[in-house]
Amino acid sequence: MRLLSFFVSFFMLSVAIHAQNTSAILKRTNSLYDEALSLSKQGNSLKASQLLREILKVDSTYYMAHFALADLAHEAGKPEEEILDLSKGLALSGDAYPAGFKFLAELLYKKGEYVEALSRMEHFALLKRSLNPEERLLLASCRFSVEAVKHPVAFRPTDPGDSINTSAEEYWPSLNAEANGLVFTRLETRDKYGLKIFKPQEDFYLSKHDSSGWSKAVPLGYPINTDENEGAQTLSADGRLLIFTGCGRPDGIGSCDLYISINKNGKWTIPLNMGEPVNSGAWESQPSLSADGETLLFVSSRKAGKGKKDIWKAEKIGVSPDGIPQFGNVSNVAELNTAGNDISPFLHADGKTLFFASDGRPGLGGTDLYLTRMVDGKYSVPVNLGYPINTNRNEEGLVVEISGEKAWFTSDRNPAKGRDILFFTLHDSLRPDPVSYLKGEVTDAKTGKKIVAEIVLTNLLTNKIVCKITDAENDGTFLVCLPSGQNYGLSISRKGYLFSSENIPLLSGFTKDRPRELKVRLQPIVSGASTTLKNIFFETNSWVLQAASQSQLDEMAQFMKMNPSVSMEVVGHTDKVGTEAYNLSLSQKRAEAVVGELKKRNIEPFRLTGRGVEFSVPVGDNSTEEGRSANRRTEFMVKEIVRE
């Protein structure tokens, strides 16, 4: 019990305070109080309450009875009664029981009565002077809440409709990058006839969005949904990968583990336990997969953490032959975690904005939603999303569309309806950087049939790989997210084919997401086959290669090393600005510059030639800037294949 253990030692003070009473009254009240304590310890709360009420009829100033009644109300989960008796006891006792002010502040804070809670907590702080960490957090939370309510943020939650929300509870939304597929958890507590079922059932449901709105959600079905409960999931950007929480399963490592499944040809594979070190003997749940698929955030109660539940990070370290990503290098995201519960991480597709929930930071009660951004390799000090996004109830499970404008979350603000999924428009100050995406299909240029290929997205400013999708991880279609503020090079390759490249300039950024669709036709390696090198760049009117060309040059060298029987020709093209002689010389020198770079990468000189053709082979209209830009290009052509 929270209070009664204190009342025994407090008994002598009670006697002294009531000394002015007649000895008969004092003897009776003290006797009843002792009996109430004894009954309470025996578990007979009802009889104990009756005796305490009897004491107050005899002596209305006997504040110990109020404190004892408050304690019994606390044990019974009756906060309103607890508040009433604590308030009466404190009004009678003055400052004799400082902890009572803290307990009352806690109750008022949880109820959302922040001004009153702050008043009680500040009085407690004056009496105690030195606060422990939990008390300091409560005081800070009361102060924060009072100010947050005074300065509300823009917030207008919208219900997506009965296609998603029903009389059952719906929660934990997850979206693909196109925001046209929503997977969520539904908790069924009644059967189709409305009768209460013995074992509530948690399953995943899917709703799709088109011009007519959200479709009626349907179960994901077996083998994802089972007779056991499934929940707290994350969906990959392309919608092909599902990582979720399963508890108490035969192959489990801890109480709850993370499982992974892939959608192949419209069907989900049998979920696999992700194994150690992601899973441990503790509790693992609430995964969030980054848009590039390289980072997995999750929540764990393992002992090596900072608090009760911590946010952890795992890195992609490989891919199995059947296309299942493997994760390792698990580490604690220490700058985010507190002594409390830090949960429900969501890493936005911009790769640096993270939303999560916590009860270990100043907030409005329960778990609040926070925002942090990656700066110089570390997350910034988290910012509370504010009131009324956060309330005195639990807020968690927030996800944000790649545009950065719309957020989805779970709300239980209407107790009559239970938990539902809602969305709202984020205030500008809370928005991540906007992100676009590229959706593509790869086919054989000769047959037109879809083929699997390796997809590599590179940041041309840093020459670092942003995202890599192996041929085992796609079915000939792919989707990659493109955060603004960078220029990207995309490479598509498959053994036996010439690679294809695309240039995606987003350095200037954008205010709206601008998805692109790409049809890639890979050329089989035959004499005369060629590909345009869209990520080879020269200085203006020069044959000096820009640094952004390095990843394309590396790709060309890698292709030649993997195809040692092939000889290649680099062909330089120009637009029609300037004389034919000037452009012939420029195109020749540019082709030779590329050949020279490949030789530096240990490609045999006899396998390489460079040829300039000035503007004699245009692919665009030289009378327009767009056409001239297309004509200024470098091609990589199969010159000869030596058969052994």
Fold of 525-644: 60s Ribosomal Protein L30; Chain: A; (3.30.1330)
Q: What is the CA radius of gyration of the chain?
A: 33
* Residue 620 identity (one-letter amino acid): G
As a whole number, mean pLDDT of residues 596-625 equals 94
8 Å CB contact between 614 and 573? yes
8 Å CB contact between 215 and 209? yes
Confidence at residue 510, expressed as pLDDT on a 0 to 100 scale: 56
* Residue 362 identity (one-letter amino acid): P
Which is more confident, 7 or 526? 526
The string of pLDDT tens digits covering residues 415-445 is: 677 789 999 999 999 999 989 899 999 999 9
Q: Across all residues in the chain, what is the average pLDDT?
A: 91
Task: Quote the CATH superfamily of domain 4-150.
Answer: Tetratricopeptide repeat domain (1.25.40.10)
DSSP 200-223: EEEEEEEEEEETTEEPPPEE--TT
8 Å CB contact between 456 and 471? no
Joined together, the tokens standing for residue 307 give 């608090």
How do beta strands 608-612 and 566-572 pair?
parallel
Confidence at residue 2, expressed as pLDDT on a 0 to 100 scale: 57
576 by Cβ neighbours in 10 Å (0-12 / 13-18 / 19+) ranks as middle
Q: Spell out the residues 6+ positions from residue 501 whose beta carbon is closer than 8 angstroms to its own.
A: 489, 490, 491, 492, 531, 532, 533, 534, 535, 552, 555
pTM: 0.89
Confidence at residue 13, expressed as pLDDT on a 0 to 100 scale: 44
Confidence at residue 508, expressed as pLDDT on a 0 to 100 scale: 66
Confidence at residue 422, expressed as pLDDT on a 0 to 100 scale: 93
Distance of alpha carbon 586 from alpha carbon 588, whole angstroms: 5
Spell out a b/e string for 608-637, using b for 16 or more CB atoms within 10 Å of the CB, else e.
bbbbbbbbeebebeeeeeeebebbbbbbbb
Confidence at residue 509, expressed as pLDDT on a 0 to 100 scale: 60
CA quadruple 481, 484, 486, 489: dihedral positive or negative?
Answer: positive
Paired strand residues for 487: 505
Which is more confident, 16 or 314? 314
Q: Helix (H, G, I), strand (E, B), or coil: what is residue 238?
A: coil
How do beta strands 516-522 and 435-444 pair?
parallel
Report the candidate in 262, 214, 275 with the shortest Cα–Cα distance to residue 235.
262
Which is more confident, 32 or 109? 109
Distance of alpha carbon 314 from alpha carbon 321, whole angstroms: 20
Spell out a b/e string for 377-392, using b for 16 or more CB atoms within 10 Å of the CB, else e.
eebeebebbbbbbbbb
Confidence at residue 22, expressed as pLDDT on a 0 to 100 scale: 56
Confidence at residue 643, expressed as pLDDT on a 0 to 100 scale: 65
DSSP label at residue 381? P
Report residue 10's pLDDT band, with 50, 70 and 90 as the boundaries: very low
The string of pLDDT tens digits covering residues 194-221 is: 777 778 888 999 999 998 999 999 999 9
Name the packing angle between helices 23-41 and 45-58 (round to 10°). Answer: 160
Confidence at residue 642, expressed as pLDDT on a 0 to 100 scale: 80
The string of pLDDT tens digits covering residues 384-414 is: 999 999 999 889 999 999 999 999 998 877 7
Enclosing H/E stretch for 4? helix 4-9
Fold of 434-524: Immunoglobulin-like (2.60.40)
- How long a stretch of residues is the chain? 644
The answer on pLDDT for 16 being more than 80 is no
Q: Any idea where the domains of the chain sit in the sequence? A: 4-150, 169-430, 434-524, 525-644
Task: Quote the CATH superfamily of domain 169-430.
Answer: TolB, C-terminal domain (2.120.10.30)
Between the CA of residue 130 and those of 134, 136, 211, 413, what are the distances in Å?
12, 9, 60, 36
Confidence at residue 196, expressed as pLDDT on a 0 to 100 scale: 78
The answer on pLDDT for 512 being more than 70 is no
Confidence at residue 530, expressed as pLDDT on a 0 to 100 scale: 95
Residue 347 backbone phi and psi in degrees, to 5: -95, 115
Residue 279 backbone phi and psi in degrees, to 5: -90, 150
The string of pLDDT tens digits covering residues 37-76 is: 888 888 898 999 999 999 999 899 999 999 999 999 999 9
The answer on pLDDT for 15 being more than 60 is no
Confidence at residue 600, expressed as pLDDT on a 0 to 100 scale: 97
As a whole number, mean pLDDT of residues 523-542 equals 95
Q: Helix (H, G, I), strand (E, B), or coil: what is residue 38?
A: helix
The string of pLDDT tens digits covering residues 178-196 is: 999 999 999 987 776 777 7
Distance of alpha carbon 175 from alpha carbon 349, whole angstroms: 11
8 Å CB contact between 417 and 170? no
As a whole number, mean pLDDT of residues 437-462 equals 94
Instruction: Encode 253-299 in three state secondary structure.
Output: CCCEEEEEEEEECCEECCCEECCCCCCCCCEEEEEEECCCCCEEEEE
Residue with tokens 């990656």, as numbered in its chain: 374
Paired strand residues for 425: 406
Confidence at residue 142, expressed as pLDDT on a 0 to 100 scale: 98
Confidence at residue 227, expressed as pLDDT on a 0 to 100 scale: 84
Q: Helix (H, G, I), strand (E, B), or coil: what is residue 612?
A: strand
The answer on pLDDT for 172 being more than 90 is yes
Number of Cβ within 10 Å of residue 68's Cβ equals: 26
